[in-house]
Structure 1
Amino acid sequence: MTTVTEAAAEDTGRAGPERFSPLWHVAIILALYVLLRGLQSAAIGWLAQPGATVADSLLSWDAGWFVTVAGEGYPTNYSYDQDGVLVGNGIAFFPLYPALIRLTSFTGLSLPDAALVVTWVCGAAAALALFQLGTRLYDRRTGYALTVLVIAQPMSVVLNMGYSEGLFLALASGALLAAHKRAWIPMGVLGLAGALTRPTGFALTVALGVAALLAWRTSTTRERITSLTAAGVAMAGTPAYLLWAGHRIGDWDAWFRIQTAGWGSTFDFGRTTLAFLDGTMRTGNSWVQVSVAWILIGAVVLAFVAVLHRPWWPLVAYGLVTLVLVVGQGGYYHSKPRLLVPVLLVLLPLATALGRARWRTIVPALAGYAAFGLWYGAYLVTVWPYTI
């Protein structure tokens, strides 16, 4: 018979005996991941335009760039259109994801299929790391809530696609988990890999540096050297790629020029974002435009709420720097919800609130959230005609 104490512990998820072994938790998280990705693919198939396939949507937009880099390597010069105007090229895309696509293709898969396999496997790894991170920082129930909130958010569709977010989310979650465990060498390796996956890897390496500094007072001399060295190695990743790109093109700021020419991604301290919000709130006539505006506003508000509750400081550093990079840069407004996918901090208030709720509240709340998130992402890669 279940005791009152055990029932209360199960209700809060914070204490008491485990009802399932760790292996069961792994199985549940993987089942949830497969279910959500399967539902997402079904939604894409349901919304697909006549003549289009699910694969067409999963390999659209930036997926083509990643596959091209994996198959042909990086260009050695700038690219121009027929009028002599500078345009984007493959240098804009960081190297680890294309390298994994290329490596996976050696199994006999085509490069597009290899891109999807890498994404799906990395997304599953990300779900497991997120669950462990949320459970370690808070409790098991919060771990489940955080995992579902992240992998079912409005643009979680990129975890189905040939995009690098799945890989980066796995590396970022794994590096933060390693930092919290004070496993410095794995932290450094995962952080370096993350820095070679996406530009926002810079935010991750800042967070790892914060983790190493926080551990300074309670570490031995050997641990201090190891932690700071690991953080330093991770921090070298982003500038190393940018310098390599500059050397390959023959222009030290080549990566920045290519990003600006191809995608308008110039850091302007939020001026473009503020202009977008101002125009949308006054005269916006597209529901996607308005929804993106509210997603951005919601992300900033939730980040502020999260900081007020003083979570683990490396997670704060990672979330805030990533959020600043997303909000502070120009570029296509309809890409910003995708760029918010790895910003774990903004979902923390929702995850901790659900972590204190009963399962009969958690399950329908997350189900409704997932239904909207999966549909939203599927719509933007099928019906919406612009890049994500």
Structure 2
Amino acid sequence: MSAGPAVQHDAAPARAAEPHRTDRARRRAGRTDRVREALRRALPALGLYAAARLSGMTVMAAWAWSIGKHPRTLLGHLWDGIWYAGIARDGYGTILPSPTTRGVIFNDLAFFPLYPGLVRAVATVLPFTVVTAGLLVAWASAGAAAWGVYAVGERLHGRRVGTLLVLLWGLLPHAIVQTMAYTESLMTALAAWALYAAITGRRLWSGVLALLAGLSRPNAIAVAAAVCCAAALTLWRDDRSRRDWRVWTGAAIAPVGWAGYVVWAGFHSGGGPLGYFEVQRLWGSRFDFGRDAFRFIRHLIVARDYMAYYMAVAILAVALVALVYLTLDRPPAALLVYVLVLTVIAVGGSSYFASKPRFLLPAFPLLLPAALAMAKARPRTIAVTTGALAGLSFFYGTYLLAVARVPM
């Protein structure tokens, strides 16, 4: 007699919980559908990007083979790529004096941990060497970055501008770095999606992505600055947002990745919480408000040097002009803060002058004015411009990897 009511009593919560499970399933399905639709819209841009980068790597590989060099080595185990491979294989702890410059000490603590950590994970799970794993992570990051760049461009100005923005980013003179075992593509991917989350009101996601970006590169502090700026403007403009825990949490966690590694590396180096900056100084890198850059430009005017240095001057000049145009277009504050911080770090940092264009590689919003101008141009103008940019990008990328003997 008592079994019936007990069964009915137990079934009631199950029936009440079923609509909640159904609602969650619907929300998950809705999110999946939105992601698929976003990817479908981005596919033409991603296809153009893949074609541009594959063409650039093919030109570089053909030249490398013709002079007896291996393309895989040039892409995956050159300059900083050697250090990242070492960290992925053996962890931190390598300290070497510079063989050419007195007083310079190379310490692998200068390199942030996210990229080598991902490389180590891939090399552990899959039957690949560390160098191959590094290239796989870089290429996957480049694809994610291209999608994020498109998403930002589409959100602000529509699909045509988004597609052209991705194409321009993939045809930069130094775009070959996007497919090297370097961290720029990983940072750009996290930065682009963090900015997209910020301008679409996803405050918690923007903070999480900024935290991860902060673990990728020293100049990724720009992402945290952009996310915190967006949160501050939201709190100022909307009184209701002050009661939203996601706004506060997103802003609070945004700089944690960058600051956490800087403090950890500082203590690990024996220099206390700010010891990381001493590690950078011993590498020859410090922030001097552009004095070293100015002296080097003066040297280039009165003397001869590698073409990479002159190209770096040209790219910096174009970037500064693009920054002015971007500011006049009045983009979202998060994008403007992001590129301002990146530009200040790139121009104001000392030494490694040929690397300054690489430091600006994640600053894709600087290309928005050019993408807007191309979107209004005739198809023939777009084709001629794209062809010229492709020729420059393929030639200069090949020169950087297979010919130039300067750090990049």
Fold match (TM-score > 0.5): yes
Residue 342 (str. 1) matches residue 359 (str. 2): no
> Cα gap change, 1:81/1:136 in structure 2, threshold over 3 Å: closer, same or farther?
closer
Deviations 1:55-95 (A, max 9, x none): 111021111111110111111x8544699955112111001
Q: Greater CA radius of gyration, 1 or 2? A: 2
Q: Tell me the distance in 2 between the aligned counterparts of 1:289 and 1:92.
A: 23
Displacement of 1:361 after TM fit? 2.5
Residue 111 (str. 1) matches residue 127 (str. 2): no
Using the size of structure 2 for normalisation, the TM-score is 0.85
Structure 2 counterparts to residues 191-340 of structure 1, below 5 A: 191-216=210-235, 217-218=237-238, 220-221=240-241, 224-252=244-272, 253-262=274-283, 264-340=284-360
Q: Tell me the distance in 1 between the aligned counterparts of 2:385 and 2:75.
A: 28
Aligned-partner residue type, residue 75 of structure 2: L
Deviations 1:17-73 (A, max 9, x none): xxxx75543322232222122112112113226221111110211111111101111
Please say if residues 95 and 196 of structure 1, whose CA atoms lie closer than 8 Å, have aligned partners that are also in contact: yes
Residue number among 87, 90, 111 corresponding to 2:108 in the alignment: 90
3-state SS in 1 of match to 2:49: helix
Residue number among 74, 97, 106 corresponding to 1:57 in the alignment: 74
Aligned-partner residue type, residue 137 of structure 2: V
Query: What percentage of aligned pairs have identical amino acids?
Result: 33
1:15 matched residue in structure 2: none
Mean CA deviation greater in 216-225 or 275-284: 216-225
Please say if residues 149 and 364 of structure 2, whose CA atoms lie closer than 8 Å, have aligned partners that are also in contact: no
Aligned-partner residue type, residue 201 of structure 1: A
Q: Which runs of 5+ in 2 are unaligned?
A: 1-36
Please say if residues 171 and 194 of structure 1, whose CA atoms lie closer than 8 Å, have aligned partners that are also in contact: yes
Q: Tell me the distance in 1 between the aligned counterparts of 2:310 and 2:149.
A: 30
Displacement of 1:337 after TM fit? 1.4
Task: Give the root-mean-square deviation of aligned CA atoms.
Answer: 2.1
Please say if residues 45 and 164 of structure 2, whose CA atoms lie closer than 8 Å, have aligned partners that are also in contact: no
Residue number among 161, 173, 182 corresponding to 1:163 in the alignment: 182
Please say if residues 305 and 349 of structure 1, whose CA atoms lie closer than 8 Å, have aligned partners that are also in contact: yes
Residue 35 (str. 1) matches residue 18 (str. 2): no
Q: Tell me the distance in 2 between the aligned counterparts of 1:159 and 1:363.
A: 23
Aligned-partner residue type, residue 132 of structure 2: D
Aligned-partner residue type, residue 313 of structure 2: A
Deviations 1:345-374 (A, max 9, x none): 322221111122233332331232122123
> Cα gap change, 1:348/1:247 in structure 2, threshold over 3 Å: closer, same or farther?
same
Aligned-partner residue type, residue 125 of structure 1: A
Structure 2 counterparts to residues 59-78 of structure 1, below 5 A: 59=76, 60-75=78-93
1:387 matched residue in structure 2: 407
Q: Tell me the distance in 2 between the aligned counterparts of 1:178 and 1:241.
A: 24
Q: Tell me the distance in 2 between the aligned counterparts of 1:365 and 1:28.
A: 19
Q: How many residues align?
A: 366
Higher RCO (CA 8 Å, separation ≥ 6 residues): 1
Please say if residues 176 and 315 of structure 1, whose CA atoms lie closer than 8 Å, have aligned partners that are also in contact: yes
